[in-house]
Structure 1
Amino acid sequence: MPGMEGGTVLIAGALGVVGRATLDVYAADPAWRVIGLSRRRPETTAADDWISVDLLDGPETSRAIAEAGHITHVVFAALQEEASLVSGWTSESQIGRNRQMLETLLDALRSAQSGVTHLTLLQGTKAYGVHHGAYRMPARESDPRFIASNFYYDQEDLARQRAAEDGFHITVLRPQIVCGFALGNPMNAVTALGVYASICRELGQPLRFPGGPACLQEAVDAGLLGRAIKWAGSEPRCRGEIYNIANGDCFSWPTIWPSIARRFGVEPGVAHPFSLAEVMADKGQVWDRIVRKHGLRPYSYAEIVSSWQFMDYLLRYGKTYPHHSIVSTIKARQHGFHDCMDTEAMFDQIFAQLQQERILPPA
């Protein structure tokens, strides 16, 4: 691809699903120096350097960025959610906090004269109002913003203003259902599904589909998204643009449900709508038993699935009509990003990887 000359990339939110995958993509290229940034420091990392700082702490962020030296590219994948995940998406405190994190980092980069040339900002289909109901499909990047407040809009406006003032470029990416692994991530569908399936097997239960009516959705593999982020940071055509990013196909949960059940050695059972947030709330002891039985990594129940509310939302529990979510990825293809993946195969590959790494139990 043109323009892949290398540099120094700072990945904010480097322990999340998006950040971890993006870090791995950049770290595999020796032309790049990779700096991870998060509130906590990992035990091991492929990054060249690590900044452990809270982006709501302005003085500490400024000190750390000044010590980091020259930085050419920034990937902003940092995110803080409310305890009540879905309702929190429209809360003033969530919007203000996430805007403040970006502003703190941009202030620090400006003060340190870090030399940033490009910022990649992560959004999602909430930019089209998916969390409020059905929207125009397939959604295109040129569609108008939804009328409700959204931290995506505040962050994007701030980033574009700073880009004009400080002389760097920005690209906004809007992925659908990012699938990978990260501890404590409230929007981690693959791990949550694996934990649900494992608990069903431990209790001798079928893997009942708990969601609402079948609908068409899209997802994206975290590694594929990481490659899209690296492309966007170095492709001149991406400057100032917005791109939807997805695997390239559609899926329906009821259709792929039997393959998920097979992966974990349980029967799919008969669909039975119920709230995972309610039913799974008291299953911590069952998970601890599974961890001991199979010698899994000793992650606590709250660490490995920090919010079942997200699964209720994804599976459309409580809906009485199909709530499809489809975006157009034509613009990214036209500008040179052609990566794609079979979504059902992606789920199975990630499950297999998590089983191999003793995060989820074998079938």
Structure 2
Amino acid sequence: MSNLLPYQRLLVVGARGLVGQGVLSAFEGDADWSVTALSRRPLDFPTEATHVAVDLTDRIQTFETLSFLGTYTHIVFAALHEKEDLIAGWRDAEQIETNVGMLRNLLDALEPSEHLTLLQGTKAYGAHLGPMVNPGKEWHDRPPGPNFYWPQEDLVRDRANASGWRYTVLRPQIVCGLALGSPMNMTLAIGVFAAVSKAMGQPLHFPGGDAFVTQATDASLLGRAVRWFGAQSGSDNETYNITNGDELIWRSVWPSIAESFEMEVGDDRPISLVEKMPDVASIWDELVRRHGLKPYSMDQLVGKSWQFADAVFGLRGGQDTLLSTIKARKHGFVDCIDTEDMFRNQFAALQSARILPI
């Protein structure tokens, strides 16, 4: 361990979210890095990073806050604005402009001296607009249709070319982790659904539609990918798909998910979790009291993830969404995890933290 002050400075933008927490975990305990966690709201998890609060949609506040932070060698941009109607918002002009504006405000106030990581996902292959070409590969043309990824990516490319720093674009899908209140966290959506079902004396029914093949990405694995590619000069200004390395068919992993909650597997019972779960919020509140859990409401834990779960479970029709990770492997990033192990580990961590009941 070096006795010198850290010469590498990392700014994690959107630090409270799924990706942000995964990135922070990848740098935790490394004395060679000075890490700042940027988010609009206070952090709700322990970290060695220094927290700075800022609302990136407020241009004046962004400039006033970031002007005091100094220079950062690396920036990870994982901030995200979502509409109340999550799925429809992905095609909404205002939502697109807000996300682009947040990145523009950041870069106008502060650019990295060495490297920036930008996060995308399967919307880069048009999965939010209709069936995508499988597997999605990084060299595929941009599909037509609304998408905030492209103006963000163009902005990063222009700034990097003008200022001389490097960038990497990473494309995970169905990122799963420990973030509370995330609009797209399947781990907490499934965990709360399972706990409430068990409390009602039910087996773990599958609430989705017909089977299809997809993939997931562990937030911690994604954090390690962010760190790895940020250090690789040979991967300058490139795009990489990042997934766990296997495929995900929900019914195939359902038995191991049920096992995490000591439940039997039920039959298929397609139902909208958006519509059902608010009606059983009082059951969750009773679970919190009975098991001595941390006093989070169902909405505080899951938020818009019920909308995401309905979509990801294919309630109203699913589609295969596969990403090729060959390019990342060829460039040397070979980290992987079995998706069933990912869910087991994350459920256990949330149970240990008294977020979910055992």
TM-score where L is the length of structure 1: 0.94
Tell me the distance in 2 between the aligned counterparts of 1:310 and 1:6.
Answer: 40
Residue identity in the other structure for 1:349: N
Aligned to 1:53: 54
* 1:63-95 deviation line (CA, Å, top 9, x unaligned): 221211121100000001000001111001110
Aligned to 1:22: 23
Tell me the distance in 1 between the aligned counterparts of 2:122 and 2:165.
Answer: 25
Aligned to 1:9: 10
Q: CA deviation at 1:265?
A: 2.2
Out of 57-66 and 116-125, give the one that drifted further.
57-66
The 5-angstrom pairing of residues 216-255 of structure 1 reads 216-255=213-252
Residue identity in the other structure for 2:144: I
Tell me whether 1:153 sits opposite 2:145 in the alignment: no
Tell me whether 1:120 sits opposite 2:106 in the alignment: no
The 5-angstrom pairing of residues 1-363 of structure 1 reads 7-42=8-43, 45-109=46-110, 116-307=113-304, 308-319=306-317, 323-362=319-358
Work out whether residues 24 and 49 of structure 2, in 8 Å CA contact, stay in contact via their aligned partners in 1. no
Q: CA deviation at 1:300?
A: 1.4
Residue identity in the other structure for 2:154: D
Tell me the distance in 2 between the aligned counterparts of 1:43 and 1:189.
Answer: 19
- What RMSD over aligned residues (CA atoms) do the two structures have, in Å? 1.3
* 1:176-212 deviation line (CA, Å, top 9, x unaligned): 1111011221101001100000000111122211111
* 1:256-283 deviation line (CA, Å, top 9, x unaligned): 1111112112222110111111111222
Aligned to 2:3: none
Tell me the distance in 1 between the aligned counterparts of 2:47 and 2:106.
Answer: 22
Tell me the distance in 2 between the aligned counterparts of 1:298 and 1:106.
Answer: 38
Q: CA deviation at 1:213?
A: 1.1
Residue identity in the other structure for 1:350: Q
* 1:277-307 deviation line (CA, Å, top 9, x unaligned): 1111222111111100100011111110102
Tell me the distance in 1 between the aligned counterparts of 2:260 and 2:100.
Answer: 40
> What is the DSSP-based 3-state SS (H/G/I as helix, E as strand, rest coil) of the residue aligned with 1:283?
helix
Tell me the distance in 2 between the aligned counterparts of 1:351 and 1:25.
Answer: 20
Q: CA deviation at 1:44?
A: 5.5
Tell me the distance in 1 between the aligned counterparts of 2:277 and 2:131.
Answer: 28
Tell me the distance in 2 between the aligned counterparts of 1:43 and 1:262.
Answer: 28
> What is the DSSP-based 3-state SS (H/G/I as helix, E as strand, rest coil) of the residue aligned with 2:268?
coil
Q: CA deviation at 1:138?
A: 1.0
> What is the DSSP-based 3-state SS (H/G/I as helix, E as strand, rest coil) of the residue aligned with 1:183?
coil
Tell me the distance in 1 between the aligned counterparts of 2:290 and 2:151.
Answer: 47
Over the matched positions of the two proteins, sequence identity in percent amounts to 48
Unpaired segments ≥5 residues, structure 2:
1-5
* 1:22-61 deviation line (CA, Å, top 9, x unaligned): 0121123211100000012226642442210100111221
Runs of 4+ residues over 4 Å off in structure 1 = none
Residue identity in the other structure for 1:69: G
Tell me the distance in 2 between the aligned counterparts of 1:155 and 1:84.
Answer: 22
TM-score where L is the length of structure 2: 0.95
Q: CA deviation at 1:135?
A: 1.2
Tell me the distance in 2 between the aligned counterparts of 1:277 and 1:44.
Answer: 27
Q: CA deviation at 1:220?
A: 1.1
Work out whether residues 177 and 218 of structure 1, in 8 Å CA contact, stay in contact via their aligned partners in 2. yes
Change (3 A) 1:349 1:251: same
Q: CA deviation at 1:6?
A: 6.0
Work out whether residues 129 and 135 of structure 1, in 8 Å CA contact, stay in contact via their aligned partners in 2. yes
Tell me the distance in 1 between the aligned counterparts of 2:7 and 2:250.
Answer: 39
Residue identity in the other structure for 1:101: M
Tell me the distance in 2 between the aligned counterparts of 1:217 and 1:360.
Answer: 26
Tell me the distance in 1 between the aligned counterparts of 2:299 and 2:192.
Answer: 11
Out of 351-360 and 261-270, give the one that drifted further.
261-270
Q: CA deviation at 1:326?
A: 0.6
Work out whether residues 180 and 188 of structure 2, in 8 Å CA contact, stay in contact via their aligned partners in 1. no
* 1:206-226 deviation line (CA, Å, top 9, x unaligned): 221111111111111111100
Tell me the distance in 1 between the aligned counterparts of 2:7 and 2:170.
Answer: 20
Tell me the distance in 2 between the aligned counterparts of 1:155 and 1:18.
Answer: 17
